[in-house]
Every structure is written in structure tokens, then in C-alpha cells.
Amino acid sequence: MANIRVCVAGATGWAGSALSKGIFQATDLELVAAISRGHAGKILGDVLELPELTTPIFGTVSEALNMNPEVFVEYTKPDSAKFHILSALRGGAHVVVGTSGLSDDDFREIDEAAKEVGRGVLAVGNFALTAVLLQKFSEIAAKYIPHWEIIDYAHSDKKDAPSGTARQLASRLSRVRESELDIPLDETQGPKESRGVRLHGSQIHSVRLPGYVISVDAIFGMPDQKLILRHESGTSAEPYVDGALLAIRNVGSLVGVRRGLDSVMEF
């Protein structure tokens, strides 16, 4: 079978550069284009210090699409992500979304656009296997335990909150049910913000401090017992590579938006 032709938007960034190296090493994938405004016109291997990697870097999506990628990976920033995704779909590519910060309304619009052109979009708030499993296990817990809250931890300069990981977890749990609150939020004595944000029927608390990387706790409480599920990543982008490669290999079988890596995994 021919290799899958891939374009990575954000290929020089923290997450995108690790993924680009992973694609380069994969024998069934070919990195045909990279996108970065600051490095446009250069060769990706020169930037990543991997001389064998000869992929050209473009400054815009429209230029990169001239390389006819079958799969476009969006790994830039929340403010440019939707434009990139819609452009890639119109250009005929399937899309893997790693960038966080897109809203449900954004995904509805992207879903319509993807269905119109018969392409798939696989959006994964966190490609790390332990984060994917946390979501799966949390869904099971929510079937049995009606009270839970989510704590989302990240470094202090992360602009979006809650994190993509926490948003996706809340969205997934909403398919099971909404979490129960013994005291309605309106009846909170003191600032209501102290109870966090209610999103997709879950309470989420976002901690942003130097020294933290992305981690998330799903805390399920029952009288006199509790279950704490915690995903914790280290400081490298390594945990995200294998999951993103799996998404790239599977997105071509989809039409419309799918959220969560486990939607293409077997359990």
C-alpha cells in the first residue's frame, strides 16, 4: 500500500516537532508538507536538526495543500485552528486535530463542512494513552457514581482553560449523565466561581501554575468512599506521538467529526 501523505501545521512547535519526527520514522507515512510562519521557506530537517528530513515548510495552509496531503494535522494555536481545519477540508484532506481550545460550536461547523466534502475529522484533546484510558474508565465510573468533579492542571502560560483534555472528558461524561450537585450552584454561599465552571454537566476547576504540565483528576465521590482517576504527563511531547500516529492512520475511514482517540481504538 502507498504511504499516507501527511501535512503537519505547527511542525516546528513543541508537540508538532515530536510528531514530525515520529512520522519521519514511520514506514507507512510520508511527511509531505509542514507549516510554520517563522520558518517558512526552510527545510524541516534543518530546523529540527534531522538532516534526512527534507520536508518543505510553508507559511500558509493554501501553499501546503499544493503538496496534496491526504491527512492534515492541526497542531498550532486555538485562534488559527478552525481556519486551518476548514481550509484543509476544502482542499480534500482528512484532518487530525490536536490543538485545544475549539468550542462545541466550532466542532458543529467543522462537522457540517466535513460531511459536505465527505472527509473525516478526528479531534483528540489528549493523545496520551493514559489520558485516553482515563476518559474510558471515567465513563464507566460515571455509570455507577453520580457525583464527580474534574480538576485540570497546566503550566501558568497556557492560555485556554479548561484544557482540551478536561473539556473532552466533560463532554464524554455528559453522554453518560450530568454530575449531581447536592447544593445547587445558585445556592452557594460565597463567590460561585469557587465551585469552578459547569461545562457539559461537570464541574471543572482549572489550576494554572509554573511547574505543572498537563494533568487531570476525575474525582468520583460516594458516601464514605471515593475513586480518583489521574492522568499525569511528563515534560516531553513523547506521550502524544503514538496516539497522533494512530489518529493519522485511522482518520481516513471517517466522515464528519469524531472526538476522542478511543473512537478508533478497540477495547
Ligand X SMILES: NC(=O)c1ccc[n+]([C@@H]2O[C@H](COP(=O)([O-])OP(=O)(O)OC[C@H]3O[C@@H](n4cnc5c(N)ncnc54)[C@H](OP(=O)(O)O)[C@@H]3O)[C@@H](O)[C@H]2O)c1
C-alpha torsion 215→251→238→139, nearest 10? 30
Do residues 185 and 192 make contact, with C-beta atoms less than 8 angstroms apart? Answer: yes
Query: Which single residue brings its beta carbon nearest to ligand X?
Result: 13
Shortest Å, Cβ 4 to ligand X:
19
Which spans of this chain sit near ligand X (rule: CB under 6 A)?
9-16, 35-39, 75-78, 80, 98-101, 124-127, 164, 240
Q: Which lies closer to ligand X via its Cβ, residue 125 or residue 196? A: 125
Angstrom distance (rounded) from CA 163 to CA 215 = 9
Do residues 162 and 203 make contact, with C-beta atoms less than 8 angstroms apart? Answer: no
Q: Which lies closer to ligand X via its Cβ, residue 158 or residue 195? A: 158
Shortest Å, Cβ 198 to ligand X:
22
Do residues 124 and 260 make contact, with C-beta atoms less than 8 angstroms apart? Answer: yes
Q: Which lies closer to ligand X via its Cβ, residue 14 or residue 144? A: 14
Cell numbers describing residue 68: 496534496
Q: Which amino acid is at 159?
A: K
Shortest Å, Cβ 74 to ligand X:
8
Angstrom distance (rounded) from CA 192 to CA 16 = 38
Tell me whether the omega of the peptide bond preceding residue 78 falls within 30 degrees of 0, making it cis. no
Shortest Å, Cβ 58 to ligand X:
9
Q: Which lies closer to ligand X via its Cβ, residue 126 or residue 206? A: 126
Q: Which lies closer to ligand X via its Cβ, residue 178 or residue 232? A: 232
Shortest Å, Cβ 130 to ligand X:
11
